[in-house]
Amino acid sequence: MSAQQPMNPSRRRFLGSVSRAAAGGAAVSLLGAPAILHADAPKARVVVVGGGYGGAIAAKYLKLADPELRVTLIERNPVYVSCPLSNEVLSGERNMESLTFDYRGLSRRGIAVMGDEIVEIDPEQRFVRGKGGAVYNYDKLILSPGVSFDFSSIDGMSAELADSTLPHAWKAGPQTLLLRRQLEAMPDGGVCAIVAPPNPFRCPPGPYERAAQIALYFSHHKPKSKVMIYDAKDAFSKQGLFQAAWKEHYGDMIEWVPAAAGGNIEAIDADSMTLVGPVEDFEADVINLIPPQRAAELAVNNGLVDDSGWCPVNQQTFESTLHSDIYVIGDAAMAGAMPKSGYAANSQGKVCAMAVAAAINGQPAPAPSYVNTCYSILAPDHGISVAGVYELKDGEIVSVPGAGGLSAADADARTRAIEVQFAIGWYRNITADMFT
C-alpha cells in the first residue's frame, strides 16, 4: 500500500491546490469537502492524523459531538486494511477485500479526508506538515498513528527483511499476503515459526490466534507440519483458553516455547532461516517475526514519547502530557489498564472526541467511560473473547472491579460457535462505526 496509488480526481485536484498554496508561502485553508465550502470562519479546526480504529472514530464522533467543527482527517493510504480478522487470510477463510475500506463515508459526513503522510508537527505554531510540504493548521490535533517496530533489538533483522522474506504482517497489507504465499509454498512436514514480542504490543492475543489460523490451514493441506511459537514472555493473553483450543482442534501441531524455556529470540540469520535463542537455535521454513514495538515514528520523532517509547497522556482526555493541544489515542498511547486493541482505540477515540469538543466549547472535560472487547477465532466453530470495562480513578484508567474477563473455560461447543458469529458481528459493526 503506498501513497502513489491512484486517488479520486477531486482529492488529487485539491492536493494540488494545497501544494501550490504551500509552495507560494500562503496560509493554507482546508476546503476539502463541499459541506464546509461556505463556512468561512469555522468554530475551530481539528486535525486528526491516522485513519484507523482510533482516528476514523475520533473524526466521526467530533462531527457528531459538534457539527460546527472543521474536522480534517489525514491518512497516508487511500484505503484502510483492517488488522482485526486479518489472521483469517492466513488460513484462507477470508480475503483481503473483506478487510479493505475507503473513506467516502467519512467524507459524506463533512469531514475533509486528505491523502497525505504527516512527517512534522509544530506544537508551537500549531500545524502539521505533509511529506510533500503541505501545511495543515490546527487548533486541536489528534494523533492515532499506531505502532512502529524496533527491528534493531533483534540482531540480523531489518525493515527490508520484513518486506522481502521475514514478514511480520502486524500491519495488515502486502506482508499478510506474503506470509500467506510462503505458507502455501512450504512443503508438508515443514515448520512455521512465530516470534512473539514482549509486552506491551499491538493486539495481545494476536500471535496466538495467528498460530491457530495457520494450524487450521495446515490441518487441511499440510497435516504433517508444525507451528512453533517462540515467545519473549512467560504468559500471554487468554492463555488457558488458547492452549485448550489448540489441543482440541490441532493436537500437537502448535507448540509454545516461553522465554523461560529459551523462547526469547535474540538474533536471526535470514540466509539459513535460523532463529538464535539464549539456549539453542531453531530452524524454520517460514518465519513470522513480530518485532518489539513502540509508538509510531511520527510520535517518536516529534517529542511525544517518554523513555518507554509510548505516549504519556492525560487519561481523561488523551491530551499529551508533553505538548498541549495534541492528543494521542490508540496503540501509541499509554492508557492505563486498557490493552492495545482496535476496540480500545475505538473507545478512546470517542472519549477524546468528546473531550476535545468540550474544550473548544469552553466546557469541562466530560467524565469518561471506556470498554474493550476482543474476539479471537481459533477454528471455524470456535471463538473466544475477552472484555473489559474501565473507569477513571485518581487520574488513571482502571478496570471496574467485578466486570469484564474471559469466555468461560468450560463453555459448550454451541457457545464457542456463537462466539465466532459474534466476532464477525463485532467486525461488521466496528468497521461500520468507523467508515459509515
Partner 1 sequence: MTTRCPTPERRLSQRLRQTTAARWRPRLPSQAWLLAMLLAGFALGAQAEGVRSAAMLSHTCAGCHGTDGASAGAAMPTIAGMDKGYLVKVLEDYKDDVRPSTIMGRIMRGYSDQEIAAIASFFADRPWVSTERPIDGELAYQGELIHQQRCESCHADGGRGQDARSPRLAGQWGPYIQYALETCRARGESCKKRQGAERVMVLEDAEIQALAHYYESQK
Binding site for partner 1 (CB under 8 A): 60-61, 343, 346-347, 350-351, 354, 364, 366-371, 373, 385, 387, 389-392, 400, 402-405, 407, 411, 414-415, 418-419, 421-422, 424-426, 428-433, 436
Q: Minimum distance between the CB of residue 366 and partner 1, rounded to whole angstroms?
A: 6
Region of residue 290 (left: phi > 0; alpha: psi -120 to 50; beta: else): beta
Q: Minimum distance between the CB of residue 66 and partner 1, rounded to whole angstroms?
A: 12
Nearer to partner 1, 46 or 352 (CB): 352
Nearer to partner 1, 13 or 428 (CB): 428
Nearer to partner 1, 326 or 423 (CB): 423
Distance CA 231, CA 227 (A): 13
Nearer to partner 1, 61 or 282 (CB): 61
| 16 class by beta-carbon count within 10 Å (0-12 exposed, 13-18 middle, 19+ buried) | exposed
Which runs of E-coded beta strand occur in 284-381? 286-289, 293-295, 311-312, 326-328, 333-334, 370-379
Q: Specify the DSSP class assigned to residue 398.
A: E
DSSP letter string, 245-276: HHHHHHTTSEEEE-GGGT----EEETTTTEEE
Q: Minimum distance between the CB of residue 351 and partner 1, rounded to whole angstroms?
A: 7
Q: Minimum distance between the CB of residue 269 and partner 1, rounded to whole angstroms?
A: 42
Main-chain phi, psi angles of 372, to 5 degrees: -130, 140
Distance CA 401, CA 45 (A): 39
Nearer to partner 1, 161 or 392 (CB): 392
Q: Minimum distance between the CB of residue 84 and partner 1, rounded to whole angstroms?
A: 11
Nearer to partner 1, 30 or 111 (CB): 111
Q: Minimum distance between the CB of residue 79 and partner 1, rounded to whole angstroms?
A: 19
Largest CA distance in the chain: 67
Main-chain phi, psi angles of 410, to 5 degrees: -105, 25
Nearer to partner 1, 154 or 337 (CB): 337
What angle in degrees, to the nearest 10, is found between the helix axes of 342-360 and 55-65? 40
Q: Minimum distance between the CB of residue 403 and partner 1, rounded to whole angstroms?
A: 3
Q: Which residue in the block uniquely carries the three cell numbers 482527517?
A: 73
Task: Return the closest-CA partner of residue 272 out of 284, 263, 260.
Answer: 284
